[in-house]
Amino acid sequence: MSEKLMFVQGNEACVQGALYAGVDFFAGYPITPSTEIAELLAAKLPEKGGKFIQMEDEIASMCAIIGASLTGHKVMTATSGPGFSLKQEAIGYACMAEIPCVIVDVQRGGPSTGNPTHVSQGDINQARWGTHGDHGIIALTASNHQDVFRITVDAFNLAETYRTPVVLLFDEVIGHMRERLVVPEPGALPIVDRLRTSVPKDVDYHPYLPREDGRLPMSDFGGHHRYNVTGLFHDMWGFPSNNPSVVQELLRHLVDKIDTNVDVITRYKEHYLDDAEYILVSYGSSARSAIHLAKNRRQKGERLGVLELQSIWPFPAELVRARCADAKAVVVVEMNMGQVLTQVKAAVDHPNRVFLANRIDGKLITPSDIKGLLRVIQGKGV
Amino acid sequence: MKRVRLVFSGSGGQGVITAAIILAEAAVIIEGLNATQSQSYGAAARGGATRTDIIISEEEINFPGVTSPNILVCLTQEAYNQYAAVIRPGGLLLTDSRSVTTAKKTDAKHIGLPLYDTVMERIGKPIVYNITMLGALIGITDIVRPESVLAILKERIPPDFLAMNQRAFDLGLVLGAQYQCRL
């Protein structure tokens, strides 16, 4: 098998990435603008011996992938804002019980049922804090189909590595637009399979007893070992515990396993960033407009660059601080009321030099929208 | 050709989006160019004005929207009224002469062709209207080679309908070939 050239929607690029990563179970409830993901996997998963289930609702879909993951499958679901809201309780369960899973949120306008067929990037904070209680979470994004493919593979790898839900935050423009995708040959990208226990049958297996390196090997549920899984704080057997030291240690672990690995998890791209006086920080489809503008202004001799974030959570604060240290101004380009802006302001040395270029009307922010705001920030007028 | 920006517009069900996908696919898969194709979603998909934006380029494409097209195709009066003003000066406006009356002059080469009437007269099936439109566009311009589109038709169209689509494409090519407009 060699690499394959395709012309597809971003949603299909995500599906191709998931299949490449080895997804073999999908449960979902169709919702615009993510529907094509379910539609395509309904056709493709049975072909390779996987399972596709259209569940009765969004909550059940999330619960189904959690169960399937426990039994040893690589799992995914796909939704948009309203469904992402409904899934939050079960996402918290997956965080607590440390169950690998990938949740795609193709963002549309919110709150509530909002603006179904139009673009938004309003679920950034929901991906971080949509479920209650302290916890770590990973959220990734991409601005073109080749990167959607690769970041989807990464999402599965990170979910299996850290035993955590990973959120893919795409948006309507990326999901529906068609462009070139080259699916690499099998083996060209690394694929991570979960760490499974070496404890043999009929020997006690402690599902939450870390190895020396801190990792927790899994045993396929329903297989050799009987063990308990719960959303309550739990001991090494998986049984509920309110022992203060058990509670404290587990919560620390849930936060630290993600936050201390921020450097390993961080994904980003630099565009024209060397010597940039003005830096646009962006992600997803709005990054396409930022890159478009930077390319044009560079040709006119303006020192404008783009820092494109491909991992949003854990937020790469140190990266943003270092790259933006010498900028005269930093402009966060996003399609919400400043959700990443808040993070950038907290990260940089001079938060008063950080500005927002946004659009919240369901239309993709254009290069000239950004240019207009940049002119004002530069004190040049519109 | 370095970069061509196109808008196809009409009403839901005419197949302008399918035509756009076929064109962009021919550019990417057969000719090794870059292309993006996006479309308006919502009520427009079920009647009402439909619009799809296509960019074909030898270079990387970042912003995928078309604010000012080099080529505007309008299959309905409503689409013409809505989009004619944004055409790039010196561009090409292709309309169906049966359904579109051009009201004001735009700084573009306007070609009105009896696309629908020709399809109904020669084939009798409106389902291939969009393919004739695409044929006419390829006949007029040199965005992609006709063989590239034919190769994609062969991939996408079920065997029983392929001959009809090829005929529809040829009809368009012939209609368009009398006008040459190189961008």
pLDDT tens-digit readout, B71-94: 999 999 999 999 999 999 999 999
In whole angstroms, what is the distance from residue B70 CA to residue B6 CA? 6
B106 vs chain A: nearest CA distance in angstroms? 24
For residue B183, is it within any domain? no
pTM for this entry: 0.96
Same domain, A57 and A159: yes
pLDDT tens-digit readout, B48-68: 778 999 999 999 999 999 999
Q: What is the pLDDT of residue B41?
A: 67
Is B39 touching A (CB cutoff 8 A)?
Answer: yes
Looking at A132, A151, A183, which one is the last position of a domain? A183
CA A121 distance to own-chain centroid: 12
- The answer for residues whose C-beta is within 8 angstroms of residue B64's C-beta and 6 or more apart is A173, A177, A179, A288, A364, B36, B38, B53, B55
pLDDT tens-digit readout, B107-143: 899 999 999 999 999 999 999 999 999 999 999 998 9
Question: What is the spatial order of strands in the sheet that A278-282 belongs to?
Answer: A268-271, A304-309, A278-282, A329-334, A354-358
CA A297 distance to own-chain centroid: 31
**In the structure encoding, which two tokens stand for residue A43, read together?**
């056709």
Tell me what percent of the residues of chain B surpass a pLDDT of 70. Answer: 95
Same domain, A287 and A169: no
Task: Find chain B residues with C-beta within 8 A of A10's C-beta.
Answer: none
For residue B8, is it within any domain? yes
Same domain, A159 and A304: no
* Sign (positive or negative) of CA dihedral B131, B134, B140, B146: negative
Closest Cβ opposite residue B64 in set A117, A177, A368: A177
Is B64 touching A (CB cutoff 8 A)?
Answer: yes
Q: What is the pLDDT of residue B106?
A: 77
Give phi and psi for B114, each to the nearest 5: -80, 65
pLDDT at B47 > cutoff 70? no
CATH classification of the domain holding A86: 3.40.50.970
The amino acid occupying position B80 is Y
B120 vs chain A: nearest CA distance in angstroms? 31
For residue B182, is it within any domain? no
Task: Find chain B residues with C-beta within 8 A of A33's C-beta.
Answer: 41
For residue A302, is it within any domain? yes
pLDDT tens-digit readout, B149-183: 999 999 999 999 999 999 999 999 999 999 977 66
Is B59 touching A (CB cutoff 8 A)?
Answer: no
CATH classification of the domain holding B137: 3.40.920.10
For residue B124, is it within any domain? yes
- Cα–Cα separations (whole angstroms), residue B182 to B9, B68, B105, B142: 21, 18, 21, 6
Q: Which residue of A has its CA nearest to B23?
A: A7
The DSSP secondary-structure symbol of A162 reads: H
The amino acid occupying position B74 is C
Same domain, A166 and A282: no
Task: Find chain A residues with C-beta within 8 A of B36's C-beta.
Answer: 177-179
Looking at A183, A209, A234, which one is the last position of a domain? A183
Question: What is the spatial order of strands in the sheet that B49-57 belongs to?
Answer: A4-9, A178-183, B34-39, B49-57, B3-11, B71-74, B91-96, B108-113
Looking at A160, A183, A206, which one is the last position of a domain? A183
For residue A137, is it within any domain? yes
Q: What is the pLDDT of residue B31?
A: 97
Give the residue numbers spanning the domain of B107: 3-177
For residue A147, is it within any domain? yes
Give the residue numbers spanning the domain of A295: 267-377
For residue B15, is it within any domain? yes
The DSSP secondary-structure symbol of B177 reads: H
Nearest partner of B152 among A371, A6, A100, A48, judged by Cα? A6
Write out the E strands in B34-130. Answer: 34-39, 49-57, 71-74, 91-96, 108-113
Is A269 touching B (CB cutoff 8 A)?
Answer: no
- The answer for residues whose C-beta is within 8 angstroms of residue A207's C-beta and 6 or more apart is A216, A218, A219, A225, A227, A228, A229, A236, A237, A238
Task: Find chain A residues with C-beta within 8 A of B19's C-beta.
Answer: none
Write out the E strands in chain A. Answer: 4-9, 25-28, 51-54, 75-79, 101-109, 115-119, 138-140, 165-171, 178-183, 268-271, 278-282, 304-309, 311-313, 329-334, 354-358
- The count of structural domains within chain B is 1
Angle at B176 between CA B172 and CA B180, to 5 degrees: 155
B36 vs chain A: nearest CA distance in angstroms? 5
For residue B7, is it within any domain? yes
CATH classification of the domain holding A327: 3.40.50.920
pLDDT at B45 > cutoff 60? no
SS (H, E, C) A86-120: HHHHHHHHHHHHCCCEEEEEEEEECCCCCEEEEEC
Closest Cβ opposite residue B64 in set A118, A180, A288: A288
Cβ contact B65–A364 (<8 Å):
yes
Task: Find chain B residues with C-beta within 8 A of A117's C-beta.
Answer: 41-42
Closest Cβ opposite residue B36 in set A5, A116, A177: A177
Cβ-count burial A216-253 (b if 16+ within 10 Å, e if not): bbbbebeeebebebeeebbbeebeebeeeebeeebeeb
pLDDT beneath 70, residues of chain A = 1
Q: Which residue of A has its CA nearest to B45?
A: A117
Q: What is the pLDDT of residue B43?
A: 55
Nearest partner of B91 among B103, B78, B115, B73, judged by Cα? B73
For residue A220, is it within any domain? no
Calculate the CA dihedral of residues A341, A347, A351, A356 and round it to 10 degrees.
Answer: -10
- Cα–Cα separations (whole angstroms), residue B137 to B43, B144, B153, B174: 27, 10, 16, 10
Task: Find chain A residues with C-beta within 8 A of B64's C-beta.
Answer: 173, 177, 179, 288, 364
Best mutation target among B22, B55, B63, B149 (most A Cβ atoms within 10 Å) is B63
Q: Which residue of A has its CA nearest to B26?
A: A7
Q: What is the pLDDT of residue A262?
A: 98
Closest Cβ opposite residue B35 in set A118, A179, A364: A179
In whole angstroms, what is the distance from residue A282 CA to residue A191 CA? 28
Cβ contact A177–B65 (<8 Å):
no
Q: Is B71 helix (H, G, I), strand (E, B) or coil?
A: strand
For residue B63, is it within any domain? yes
CA B53 distance to own-chain centroid: 10
- Cα–Cα separations (whole angstroms), residue A97 to A7, A66, A163, B18, B50: 39, 10, 9, 46, 47
- The count of structural domains within chain A is 2
Q: What is the pLDDT of residue B181?
A: 75
- Under 8 Å CB pairs connecting chains A and B tally to 59
**In the structure encoding, which two tokens stand for residue B7, read together?**
């808008």
